[in-house]
């Protein structure tokens, strides 16, 4: 064989004009075609660009990707979808290295693929050639066959071997390396070794003995389960698997990419009860499924330790892997399943077994759970479940679903249903992020040719999408109508809300931003760059509408960016802690605080179990008003015991005279105590940020808690049984254990305090109540001590006559005595006995404490009430000092002081800003703003037909502003920078000299909106048309122009509506120039006029100039380098070989367009050479 080189470097093929002469590139493409390859995905460059051209000539489709990684993902996906390998074509060195990711992914998935990489010319080996790299060695680890094509005559041999190896079990990756000089060399076809198309792989069947054993194991099983793996789908055994499962009535579930082999909605599918099915099954049949991490290695605790595994797999490496199987059959799935169906018995697994009932019960319960999650109202934003539910309801049932991400993929697996085999492609066993766009492109290319009309929906996490986002351009270039749906939570696993994000990013972002966080970006705008449609969806309605519009688009890809709650999802505790730890250093939002609290709560440390959050039976929500009422009732019971137990013990007559009443009240309140225990066992609480509603879980938590044993159970022990002992007959003090329930009283107090509108009054009431209770207890103690020491024994105790006093009189005296003592007024007889001294001393100490508490509490209440007043005063004083220092005239000083007075008395600015900048969560602040301002905004006619979300966003941008008497709000000719809504007060539209008032604007009036809209054609431009002045004090809400435009940016439809309305208003007043029509462009131009925009534009221009200079310089360096390479090559050929090597020859080309491209290449090369000849050689050496 004689191989000849050509001069083409990094360009089109140079081949012989002789029809029997073929270049290496053509030989490869012809051989690939012969082996049935339909598609090549790749990125071209030196030295394989000719291969791509030649492939197109051979009618193999070439899809040029933006990165070899995606090219390899795409090629491998074609292998899975068609069972035939596609080719991933890469340049040398880094090109192959990029493809290694896809090769590893395909190897792990056992998907056939052939990777062909050009490599540096063999004569330059070890000389530091361009992109020189030990490619075959590198590829070997990621492929089952890796070789370098030795010579042109054996190209068909290597290609057949590569294709065959990739397809034969276990299918995987083949790698072929082709040195650059072989690509462009030519050979006479007579010298090429001809190799036929590879034979389809054998389909081994199961022996009859294995089949018998299979049936025997199956029939012995009480709790069988079939797991349908991706292998079954790849083996095109869907029909057979369906017949087998239906014939024997077996419950089944599918592995992630096995989904759809049987319809996910199939009545025998138990996928939604996966954990139970895996854990309790006693016999599991694996149809092309592997016992790897995805199936928890088939081991306890996720599987029954005694489970019998039956495996059917073509790959011997999977048999008995991680676990000794009861039966392992190495055979083709389609064949074995057919054998089992056709040769099996009439036996059928009973549909009424306890196993089926358990699975069905679990299925129903899990359905309730996911329904609850779908309709969860914990946040106004979407969550994964609600978003997926909306998507699922719109996308066609037979769509190919591609998915990647963490939560996005996991939750998507259960929510997005498949009805056909090989219709789900995801990050799979290897968990590779970045596969999505490549897979989707492959699937869409496949659909274009084989299943026209079928749609590909690519559901991506926002992080996952970022890995290969530029492939959107590829999809646009090849007119592939893929629907990219990005489930955007602004992070990997979870994001943080935008406010916390900004807080953290403002400081040293690299130290503060959680490693998981990303910008919750407007990815939909990427579509715009390629002339495609992007959608932003924040509500269910928007999700549905955008999916519908995207489905209507048949030739272009679209992006739907679904904004979901950043913390939404099944975030594991470990990850949460990692995310929240850095947040703890910042000012956490309310949600985060709650989450942090939970981390210190032992209950919350329990792992998340989804069933805990499922509503079952009667459960009380502690936020509900009923709970508050109940607390009032139980508090009454506790208060009764608190007051009456000591009173009845000390005042015998009180106890004796009303015994029937006391006994009935005692037992009534005991019943209340018992009911309270039931209520407590059904009171929901938060765990992991979610509300626990499962009453079993709640009861278990309560009945095993310390509170139950130490307080509640002890408090209800029937100590009154001691009444039967004569000595303790009706001695009320033996019921003192009832006081252990006092925590309910304090809970009631706390709850009421946080709910009441008069917290200070309530606090004073509680303080008085506490003081009186202590005096009451002390009064009882005094009577008891008097009884113990004997009435009338000295002056300190009660006189003997007290015995004959009525209970009321006696109580009054004791209470009086107790008050004097505890209030340390001290006007009581001096003690004489030791016991009396001890008692008095003790009382004094308690008294001091009571006073300290009262004074402290009252002080706090008063100072908190005065705090805001104090703050205002301080500010006022400061302003006054400033005015004095600056010698401000008396009139202005008075005006300022009056203004501040007004501000203070109306408590507007301070309180409002304080509230809106407080620790309230963003959502709550938004809710508050909506409550306070929405009504005002709705009055603006311009916004009448706008989307409600737009108003909600605008509401948060409204700022309160105040004007004093005579202050100008705006003046004629000013540039409009904000619009105004009058909340309180009156404004006048006045003449230029301010003397005449034309119109009075009252509360609710709106003005200034037209000038901030920059309406194209407005004769006044964006200038104010009138002088507006405050008549007295007035409160206005202002909306700044930047804020309005910032929000309107996301609502293009509303923007045009508003502009149209503005126009009609202007039209009425004849202030519109109808000739100006290009609304958007005009608005943008107007915007650019602002100084900030000009500065920004300058900065941007500088940046872009910099970037362009760098690119230009790089290109220049690169071209010099290339010319140098040309030069060395030419020198090499001239000096060592024949000079004719640079003479180009042409080969007849058939594909339209290619001759044109070749011509272009040649012209370019000639131009390069010309330029090259004019460059002094010194310059080249510098490179």
Separation between Cα atoms, residue 226 and residue 784, nearest integer Å? 79
Do residues 1001 and 986 lie in contact, with contact meaning Cβ atoms separated by under 8 Å? Answer: yes
Instruction: State the helix-helix crossing angle for 384-394 and 407-415, rounded to 10 degrees.
Output: 50
- Looking at the Cβ atoms of 70 and 489, the one nearer to ligand TPP is 489
For residue 125, give every residue at least 6 positions away whose Cβ sits within 8 Å of its Cβ, in sequence order, or none.
132
Least distance in Å: CB of 102 to ligand TPP? 11
Least separation in angstroms between residue 720's CB and ligand TPP is 59
Q: Please report how close the Cβ of residue 579 comes to ligand TPP at its closest, in angstroms.
A: 11
Q: Which is nearer to ligand TPP, 493 or 1161 (CB)?
A: 493
Instruction: Dump the DSSP string for 653-707.
Output: HHHHHTHHHHHHHHHHHHHHHHHHHHHHHTB-EEETTEEE-BHHHHHHHHHTSHI
Q: Cα–Cα distance between 340 and 310 in angstroms, integer?
A: 13
Is the backbone peptide bond immediately before 301 cis, with ω within 30 degrees of 0? yes
CA distance 943 to 48: 59
What burial letters (b/e) apply to 873-908, b meaning 16+ CB within 10 Å?
A: eeebeebeeebeeeebeeeeeebbeebbebbbeeeb
Q: Considering beta carbons, is residue 390 or 1072 the nearer one to ligand TPP? A: 390
**Least distance in angstroms from the C-beta of 1000 to ligand TPP:** 55
Of 224 and 582, which has the nearer Cβ to ligand TPP?
A: 582
Judged by DSSP in three states, 1087 sits in helix
Task: Compare residues 22 and 387 and give the one whose CB is closer to ligand TPP.
Answer: 387
Determine the 3-state secondary structure of 477 from DSSP.
helix
**What is the Cα–Cα distance from 1127 to 1142, expressed in whole angstroms?**
12
Q: Which is nearer to ligand TPP, 434 or 557 (CB)?
A: 434
What minimum distance in Å lies between the beta carbon of 569 and ligand TPP?
Answer: 6
Nearer to ligand TPP, 431 or 964 (CB): 431
Buried b (16+ CB within 10 A) or exposed e, 79-91: bbbbbbbbbbbbb
Q: How far is the CB of 458 from ligand TPP (least distance, A)?
A: 12
C-beta of 534 vs 566, nearer to ligand TPP: 566
Nearer to ligand TPP, 107 or 185 (CB): 107
Q: What is the dihedral of CA 1129, 1135, 1139, 1141, to 10 degrees?
A: -30
User: What is the closest distance, in whole angstroms, from the C-beta atom of residue 435 to ligand TPP in the complex?
Assistant: 9
Task: Say if CB 489 and CB 564 are below 8 A apart.
Answer: yes
CB of 406 to ligand TPP, least distance (A): 3
| 1099, two tokens | 């900065």
Burial (Cβ within 10 Å: 0-12, 13-18, ≥19) of residue 340? buried
Q: Which is nearer to ligand TPP, 431 or 960 (CB)?
A: 431
Strand partners, 988: 1000, 1029
Q: Output 221 or 517, the one with its CB closest to ligand TPP.
A: 517
Chain position whose Cβ is nearest to ligand TPP: 461
Measured CA to CA, the distance from residue 82 to residue 78 in angstroms comes to 6
> CA-to-CA distance for 82 and 77, rounded, in angstroms?
9
Task: Give the whole-angstrom CA distance, residue 113 versus residue 234.
Answer: 14
CB 721 within 8 A of CB 727: no
Shortest distance, CB of residue 518 to ligand TPP, whole angstroms? 7
For the beta carbon of residue 1030, count every other beta carbon within 10 angstroms.
22
- Three-state secondary-structure class, residue 1156: helix
Helix (H/G/I), strand (E/B), else coil: 960: strand
CA distance linking residue 354 with residue 128, whole number of Å: 71
Chain positions contacting ligand TPP, by CB under 6 A:
405-408, 431-434, 461-464, 487, 489, 491-493
Do 986 and 1031 meet the contact criterion of CB atoms below 8 Å apart? yes
Min dist CB 474 to ligand TPP, Å, is 19
**Least distance CB 141 / ligand TPP (angstroms):** 17
Taking the least distance from each CB to ligand TPP, the nearer of 468 and 681 is: 468
Q: For ligand TPP, which is the closer residue by CB, 574 or 757?
A: 574
SS3 987: strand
Question: CA 412, CA 812: separation in Å to the nearest integer?
Answer: 73
Please tell me the number of Cα atoms within 13 Å of 260 on its side-chain side. Answer: 23
Q: Smallest gap, in angstroms, from Cβ of residue 467 to ligand TPP?
A: 7
Q: How far is the CB of 525 from ligand TPP (least distance, A)?
A: 18
What's the min distance (Å) between Cβ of 410 and ligand TPP? 8
Q: Which whole-number Å values give the CA distances from 1112 to 45, 610, 1123, 1164, in the listed order?
A: 19, 57, 16, 18
CB 404 to ligand TPP: min, Å? 7
Residue with tokens 């039966």: 327
């Amino acid at each position: 064989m004689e191989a000849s080189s050509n001069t083409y470097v990094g360009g089109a093929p140079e081949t012989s004009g002789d029809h029997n002469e073929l270049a290496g590139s053509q030989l490869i493409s012809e051989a690939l075609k012969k082996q049935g390859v339909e598609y090549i995905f790749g990125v071209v460059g030196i030295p394989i660009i000719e291969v791509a051209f030649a492939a197109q000539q051979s009618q193999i489709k070439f899809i040029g990707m933006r990165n070899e990684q995606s090219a390899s993902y795409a090629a491998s996906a074609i292998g899975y979808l068609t069972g035939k390998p596609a080719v991933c074509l890469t340049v040398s060195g880094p090109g192959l290295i990029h493809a290694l990711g896809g090769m590893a992914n395909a190897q792990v998935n056992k998907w056939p693929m052939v990777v062909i990489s050009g490599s540096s010319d063999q004569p330059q080996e070890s000389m530091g050639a361009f992109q020189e790299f030990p490619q075959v060695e590198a590829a070997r680890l990621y492929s089952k066959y890796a070789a370098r094509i030795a010579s042109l005559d054996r190209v068909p041999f290597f290609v057949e071997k590569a294709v065959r190896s990739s397809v034969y079990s276990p299918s995987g990756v083949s790698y072929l390396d082709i040195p650059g000089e072989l690509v462009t060399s030519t050979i006479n076809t007579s010298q090429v070794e001809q190799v036929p198309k590879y034979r389809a792989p054998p389909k081994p069947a199961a022996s009859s003995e294995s089949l018998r054993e299979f049936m025997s194991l199956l029939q012995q099983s009480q709790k069988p389960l079939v797991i349908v793996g991706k292998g079954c789908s790849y083996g095109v055994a869907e029909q057979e698997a369906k017949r087998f499962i239906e014939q024997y009535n077996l419950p089944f579930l599918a592995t992630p990419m096995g989904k759809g082999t049987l319809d996910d909605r199939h009545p025998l599918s138990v996928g939604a009860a996966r954990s139970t099915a895996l854990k309790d099954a006693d016999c599991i049949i694996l149809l092309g499924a592997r016992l790897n991490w995805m199936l928890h290695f088939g081991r306890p605790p996720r599987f029954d330790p005694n489970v019998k595994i039956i495996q059917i797999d073509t790959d011997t490496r999977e048999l008995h892997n991680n676990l000794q199987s009861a039966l392992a059959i190495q055979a083709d799935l389609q064949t074995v399943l057919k054998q089992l169906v056709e040769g099996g018995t009439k036996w059928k697994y009973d549909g009424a077994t306890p196993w089926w009932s358990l699975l069905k019960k679990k299925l129903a319960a899990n359905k309730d759970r996911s329904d609850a999650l779908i309709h969860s109202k914990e946040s106004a934003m979407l969550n994964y479940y609600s978003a997926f539910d909306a998507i699922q309801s719109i996308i066609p049932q037979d769509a190919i679903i591609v998915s990647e991400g963490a939560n996005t993929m996991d939750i998507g697996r259960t929510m997005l249903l498949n009805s056909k085999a090989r219709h789900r492609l995801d990050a799979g066993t290897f968990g590779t992020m970045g596969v999505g766009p490549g897979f989707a492109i492959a699937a869409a290319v496949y659909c274009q040719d084989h299943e026209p009309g079928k749609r590909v929906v690519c559901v991506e996490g926002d992080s996952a999408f970022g890995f290969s986002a530029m492939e959107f351009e590829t999809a646009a270039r090849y007119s592939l109508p893929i629907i990219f749906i990005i489930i955007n939570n602004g992070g990997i696993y979870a994001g943080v809300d935008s406010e916390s994000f900004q807080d953290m990013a403002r400081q040293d972002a690299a130290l503060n931003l959680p490693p998981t966080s990303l910008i919750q970006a407007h990815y939909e705008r990427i579509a715009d760059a390629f002339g495609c449609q992007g959608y932003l969806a924040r509500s269910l309605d928007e999700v549905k509408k955008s999916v519908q519009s995207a489905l209507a688009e048949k030739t272009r890809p679209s992006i739907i960016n679904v904004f979901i709650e950043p913390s939404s999802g099944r975030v594991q505790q470990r990850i949460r802690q990692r995310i929240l730890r850095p947040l703890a250093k910042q000012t956490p939002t309310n949600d985060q605080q709650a989450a942090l609290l939970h981390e210190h709560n032992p209950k919350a440390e329990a792992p998340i179990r989804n069933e805990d959050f499922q509503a079952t039976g009667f459960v009380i929500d502690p936020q509900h008003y009923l709970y508050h009422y109940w607390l009032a009732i139980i508090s009454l019971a506790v208060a009764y015991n608190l007051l009456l137990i000591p009173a009845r013990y000390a005042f015998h007559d009180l106890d004796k005279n009303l015994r029937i009443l006391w006994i009935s009240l005692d037992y009534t309140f005991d019943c209340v105590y018992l009911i309270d225990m039931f209520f407590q066992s059904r009171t929901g609480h938060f765990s992991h940020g979610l509300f626990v509603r499962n009453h079993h879980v709640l009861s278990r938590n309560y009945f095993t808690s310390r509170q139950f044993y130490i307080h509640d159970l002890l408090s209800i022990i029937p100590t009154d049984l001691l009444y039967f002992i004569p000595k303790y007959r009706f001695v009320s003090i033996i019921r003192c254990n009832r006081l252990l329930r006092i925590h309910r009283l304090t809970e009631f107090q706390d709850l009421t305090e946080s709910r009441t509108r008069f917290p200070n009054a309530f606090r004073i009431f509680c303080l008085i109540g506490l003081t009186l209770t202590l005096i009451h207890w002390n009064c009882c103690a005094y009577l008891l001590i008097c009884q113990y020491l004997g009435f009338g024994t000295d002056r300190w105790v009660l006189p003997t006559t007290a015995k004959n006093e009525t209970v009321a009189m006696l109580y009054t005296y004791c209470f009086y005595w107790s008050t004097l003592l505890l209030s340390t007024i001290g006007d009581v007889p001096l003690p004489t006995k030791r016991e009396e001294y001890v008692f008095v001393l003790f009382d004094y100490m308690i008294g001091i404490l009571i006073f300290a508490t009262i004074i402290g509490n009252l002080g706090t209440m008063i100072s908190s009430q005065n705090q805001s007043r104090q703050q205002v005063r301080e500010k006022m004083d400061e302003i006054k000092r400033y005015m004095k220092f600056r010698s401000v005239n008396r009139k202005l000083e008075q005006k300022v002081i009056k203004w501040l007075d007004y501000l203070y008395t109306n408590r507007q600015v301070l309180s409002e800003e304080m509230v809106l900048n407080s620790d309230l969560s963003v959502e709550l602040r938004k809710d508050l703003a909506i409550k306070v301002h929405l009504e005002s905004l709705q009055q603006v006619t311009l916004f009448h037909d706008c989307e409600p979300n737009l108003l909600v966003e605008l509401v948060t941008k409204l700022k309160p502003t105040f004007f004093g008497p005579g202050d100008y709000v705006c003046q004629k000719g000013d540039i409009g920078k904000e619009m105004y809504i009058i909340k309180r007060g009156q404004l006048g539209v006045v003449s230029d000299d301010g003397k005449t008032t034309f119109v009075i604007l009252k509360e609710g009036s709106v003005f200034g909106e037209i000038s901030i809209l920059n309406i194209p054609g407005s004769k006044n431009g964006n200038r104010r048309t009138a002088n507006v002045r405050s008549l007295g004090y007035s409160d206005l809400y202002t909306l700044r122009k930047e804020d309005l435009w910032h929000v309107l940016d996301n609502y293009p439809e509303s923007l045009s509506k508003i502009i149209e309305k503005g126009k009609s208003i202007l039209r009425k007043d004849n202030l519109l120039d109808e000739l100006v029509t290009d609304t958007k462009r005009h608005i943008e131009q107007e915007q650019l006029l602002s100084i900030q925009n000009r500065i920004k534009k300058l900065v941007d221009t500088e940046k872009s100039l910099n970037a362009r200079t760098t690119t230009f310089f790089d290109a220049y360096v690169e071209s010099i380098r290339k010319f140098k390479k040309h030069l060395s090559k030419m020198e090499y050929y001239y000096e060592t070989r024949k000079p004719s090597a640079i003479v180009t020859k042409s080969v007849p080309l058939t594909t339209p367009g290619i001759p044109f491209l070749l011509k272009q290449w040649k012209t370019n090369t000639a131009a390069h050479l010309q330029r090259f000849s004019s460059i002094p050689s010194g310059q080249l050496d510098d490179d």
